[in-house]
Amino acid sequence: MDIIKKVAAANGVSAEEVSKEISKAIDLAFKNAGGKEKINLEEIPCDGDKPTPEELIAYIINRINEI
């Protein structure tokens, strides 16, 4: 996804590193979410148990565009 490459370039790291860090954040969010937060996370469309970085970014972009 282009956004991951842009973030990587802007921060002097690889796209893989950016993806890895986003994945860590997703894992922490799902691990620590409770109640309403868990319900909100489960609304993110994904092919697995948790969204990939690309799925999360696509979801966020779609939500922003709805505003």
One-character DSSP codes across 6-58: HHHHHHTS-HHHHHHHHHHHHHHHHHH--THHHHHHHTS--SSSS--HHHHHH
pTM of this prediction? 0.85
Mean of per-residue pLDDT scores for the chain? 93
Give the pLDDT of residue 62.
Answer: 94
**pLDDT score of 36 more than 90:** no
Q: Which of 1, 32, 33, 34 is nearest to 18 (CA)?
A: 1
Share of the chain above pLDDT 70, in %: 99
Q: What mean pLDDT comes out for the span 21-50?
A: 91
